A = this chain, B = another copy of it.
Amino acid sequence: MESAIPLHLETPRTRHKRVPDDYQPPYPSFVARYKPSVNRVVMAYFGLQYRGTAAAAATDALAEIAARFAAEGGPSHWDRAQYVDQAGYENVVSVAYWDDIARFDKWFASAREAWTGAQPEGIGTFIEVLRPTVARHETLFSSLGRPEGVAAISGGMSGEVQEHAYWGGMRDRIPLSQTGPMSPGGNPELIRDGARLRVKAHDNLCLIRSGQDWSDTETSERKLYLDDVEPVLREGMDFLRDDGLGIGCYANRYMRVLAAGGDASEKSYGQSWWKSLAALERWAESHPSHVRIFGAAMKYLSTLGPSAKLRLYHEVTVAAADEQFFEYLNCHAKTGMLAAVETVAA
């Protein structure tokens, strides 16, 4: 049993973790382990928004960003996911990960210009970037052997960690929780730059990417996931998307991961922006929409036990104000962090 907080990020505590030192989680979980030399990571979401009539232009844009990812200075890992949003637009989000901030900065300038500088008629684009220090970040995996998201660039996974399977484990896994409450500072503001809209959020904004992979499940387990768990998960994701603002969720996307050829894979993830880690904690712990998800997942896992083939993971970041970048071009007003600021109508 090891701590989710890596040794080199342990600091003298001014804040206690939520469980006693002899706490034993009831089942194993694992976290991504970066090399100690990695101080920051970058997670950059490149979104594309369109309706069917602009499908050809969308395909071109997706091919172009993929080519940029493959070029000099590009990410160590990226993946792509798709969803239809609350306004009926098709969205494709390509998320890319770097563990070298200098390499990202050099790569990013021209990529940004190409992605949100100008796009053909009917195409909206956005860029949402966090570049947190690793002390502001945590991951959790239900099983080994298939890293997802930022963990794909970490180079390794932990053994069984202690800080999970209790409410508060997410916070306790973030190294900064040893010394700080990570309280939010201020409200998101809109900045107009011609056609581009930028959102300046605030200190300790929180991002979660929370995913599930049912590709290894067979017959009865697959049926249980698709019939009993997924609909409850979708309902919770829809709640966050449509009514999350009142509880501190600025935006939520529940997306299907696309395989290399562009077809839907048997993986999905929710990506949401939160006013604070505390707001995310409160929703997860006590809101009916997540209590139902938790109940369904619990029933699923207790039915299947260790034989469950469903893979679950998440990554959570609490970003400092200067670790964030949000930019939108020709997107509707409910897109990402635009939903968090006053109406963007001119």
- List residues of A whose CB falls within 8 A of some B CB: 15-16, 18-20, 23, 26, 165-168, 181, 183, 276, 278, 281-282, 285-286, 288, 291-292, 294-295, 298-299, 302
Contacts and interface: CB of A to CB of B under 8 A. Distances in A.
A183 to B, nearest CB: 6
Contact of A298 (B168, B281, B288): B288
B291 A20 contact: no
A26 B281 CA distance: 14
A16 B16 contact: yes
29 contacts: A15-B15, A15-B16, A16-B16, A16-B181, A18-B18, A18-B168, A19-B278, A19-B282, A20-B181, A20-B183, A20-B276, A20-B278, A23-B278, A26-B286, A165-B286, A166-B281, A166-B282, A166-B286, A167-B167, A167-B168, A167-B285, A167-B286, A168-B168, A288-B299, A288-B302, A291-B295, A291-B298, A292-B295, A295-B295
Given A23-B278, A167-B286, 7 more contacts: A15-B15, A19-B278, A20-B276, A166-B281, A168-B168, A288-B302, A291-B298
Contacts of A16: 15-16, 181
Contacts of A15: 15-16
Contacts of A181: 16, 20
A278 to B, nearest CB: 5
Number of chain copies forming the complex:
2
Nearest to A171: B18
A281 B285 CA distance: 13
A285 B20 contact: no
Contacts of A166: 281-282, 285-286
A87 to B, nearest CB: 29
Nearest to A287: B26
A293 to B, nearest CB: 11
A168 B165 CA distance: 15
Nearest to A295: B295
Contacts of A292: 295
A299 to B, nearest CB: 8
A291 B19 CA distance: 19
Contacts of A299: 288
